[in-house]
């Protein structure tokens, strides 16, 4: 192929082509718009910061993510994961001054950069996905149980470090993302189902221990136990923990429910949320704010936009021929959707409360920045012409099953 005389111009032309990546960006922008408006419902100042500081920074990050060649990105995946792990280690080191790594909400998850608090776990999410995609791109051994070991190791290293911060909410996102990527990469579904079954059984066992075993047999931390208990009591209609451990979820569900079909509207919603004392209403609990203000229709709109966003990213994956790009897109879609689902599920009472934000909507610089990095990479991948001679990837024919 003859070399172009204006490679950057060509690159921009490629980018400007219509492709599903732009749909993802459009959905993301609408979610951000909803987010800033919702944050403004409860805190004008934070809405302003989100719109005027973090959003421009996120756009810069998006622009930076659009430009690099995917192949170069693939080569950089492991070093990026190494850097993320190093930063995760750094934040849990005991001798690091608290002025650099402050304790916020009981967790050492942030590094004070002066102009912003940077969250290494956000970076780790992107690095983990890129690394896993780079690792799996031409492999077949993940179709064996033994071959799943390395992907799980790649997942566990950051997860353990994040749990040490501790930041259970962020750590929870890695396993579903791994499963989604492995599924897309052609791992045998029965292997994944078995592992998933073991995981779910472990979760069920823990819940059973929390609810029915004597104190001497408890394995979870106290704060984790009480959250599970709080949700259990809420589900069975027992209000004994509503005033303490179940308070956050109780108020969140009340704010969701009180929104009705069409919501209160801006002014009244602000008052209702203020006097009902919804905690973390600008970040973790932003979905109740949305439903309270715009009602069930607002909530559905948000869910719809996430489906559009995730669907668009998966469409980019489907159209791409580059296995690294394919799997990265699946990972991005998986992690964004998992995070959104967990956040919404806990505010509507389907999961116990844990600290996790609603991507693109909740207030926060690091989260927005790295979500935009993901969307930038998706646009980047979508804009590339398929390599005509690329090896087919993740195509393992098996006449016995629909999806294999």
Interface residues with another protein (CB under 8 A)? 94-95, 180, 183-184, 186, 253-261, 271-272, 275-277, 291, 295-296, 299-300, 303-304, 306-307, 310-311, 314, 317-318, 326, 330, 333-334, 337, 341, 344-345, 348-350, 393-398, 401-404
Nearer to another protein, 54 or 142 (CB): 142
Measured between alpha carbons, how far is 286 from 363 in angstroms, rounded to an integer?
9
3-state secondary structure of 81: helix
Nearer to another protein, 118 or 306 (CB): 306
Nearer to another protein, 208 or 261 (CB): 261
Q: Determine phi and psi for 351, rounding to 5 degrees.
A: -140, 155
Paired tokens of 212: 């029915």
Nearer to another protein, 65 or 180 (CB): 180
Nearer to another protein, 32 or 251 (CB): 251
| CB-based contact 308:299 (threshold 8 Å) | no
Q: How far is the CB of 55 from another protein (least distance, A)?
A: 25
Q: How far is the CB of 247 from another protein (least distance, A)?
A: 13
DSSP-assigned states of every residue in 103-141: -BTTB---EE-SSSEE-HHHHHHHHHHHHHHHHHTT--G
Q: How far is the CB of 180 from another protein (least distance, A)?
A: 6
Q: At CB < 8 A and 24+ separation, what contacts does 199-207 make?
A: 199/175, 207/232
Q: Cα torsion for 175, 177, 183, 187, to the nearest 10°?
A: -50
Q: How far is the CB of 176 from another protein (least distance, A)?
A: 10
Q: How far is the CB of 396 from another protein (least distance, A)?
A: 6
Nearer to another protein, 45 or 274 (CB): 274
Nearer to another protein, 87 or 317 (CB): 317
CA-closest candidate to residue 353, choices 288, 261, 290, 402: 288
Nearer to another protein, 149 or 307 (CB): 307
Q: At CB < 8 A and 24+ separation, what contacts does 219-224 make?
A: 224/168
DSSP-assigned states of every residue in 297-309: HHHHHHHHHHHHH
Q: How far is the CB of 227 from another protein (least distance, A)?
A: 18
Q: How far is the CB of 300 from another protein (least distance, A)?
A: 5
**Residue linked to tokens 């995981």:** 199
**Residue linked to tokens 């259990």:** 232
Q: How far is the CB of 189 from another protein (least distance, A)?
A: 8
In the chain, what is the straight-line distance between the N-terminal and C-terminal CA atoms, in Å?
A: 36
Paired tokens of 246: 């179940």
Measured between alpha carbons, how far is 362 from 35 in angstroms, rounded to an integer?
6
């Amino acid at each position: 192929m003859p070399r172009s005389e204006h490679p950057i111009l060509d690159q921009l032309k490629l980018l400007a082509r219509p492709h599903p990546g732009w749909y993802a960006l459009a959905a993301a922008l609408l979610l951000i718009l909803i987010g800033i408006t919702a944050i403004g419902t409860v805190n004008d100042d934070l809405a302003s910061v989100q719109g005027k500081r973090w959003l421009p920074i996120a756009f810069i990050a998006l622009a930076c993510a659009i430009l690099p060649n995917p192949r170069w990105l693939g080569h950089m995946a492991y070093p990026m994961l190494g850097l993320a792990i190093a930063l995760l280690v750094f934040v849990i080191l005991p001798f690091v001054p608290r002025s650099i790594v402050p304790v916020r909400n009981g967790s050492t998850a942030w590094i004070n950069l002066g102009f912003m608090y940077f969250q290494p776990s956000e970076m780790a999410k992107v690095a983990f996905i890129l690394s896993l995609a780079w690792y799996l791109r031409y492999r077949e051994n993940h179709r064996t149980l033994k071959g799943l070991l390395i992907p799980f190791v790649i997942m566990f290293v950051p997860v353990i470090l994040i749990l040490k911060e501790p930041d259970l909410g962020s750590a929870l996102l890695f396993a579903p993302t791994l499963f989604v990527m492995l599924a897309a990469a052609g791992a045998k579904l029965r292997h994944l189902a078995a592992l998933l079954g073991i995981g779910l059984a472990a979760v069920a066992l823990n819940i059973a221990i929390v609810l029915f075993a004597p104190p001497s047999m408890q394995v979870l931390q106290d704060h984790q136990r009480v959250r599970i208990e709080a949700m259990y009591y809420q589900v069975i209609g027992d209000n004994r923990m509503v005033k303490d451990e179940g308070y956050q979820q109780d108020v969140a569900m009340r704010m969701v429910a009180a929104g009705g079909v069409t919501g209160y509207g801006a002014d009244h919603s602000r008052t209702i949320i203020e006097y009902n004392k919804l905690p973390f209403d600008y970040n973790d609990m932003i979905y109740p704010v949305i439903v309270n203000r715009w009602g069930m229709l607002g909530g559905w709109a948000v869910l719809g936009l996430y489906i559009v966003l995730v669907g668009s990213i998966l469409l980019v994956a489907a159209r791409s021929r580059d296995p690294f790009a394919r799997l990265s897109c699946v990972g991005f879609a998986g992690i964004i959707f998992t995070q959104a689902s967990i956040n919404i599920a806990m505010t509507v009472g389907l999961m116990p409360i844990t600290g996790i934000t609603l991507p693109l909507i909740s207030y926060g610089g690091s989260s927005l920045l790295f979500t935009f990095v993901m969307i930038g990479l998706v646009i980047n991948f979508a804009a590339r012409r398929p390599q005509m001679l690329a090896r087919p990837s993740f195509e393992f024919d098996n006449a016995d099953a629909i999806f294999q």
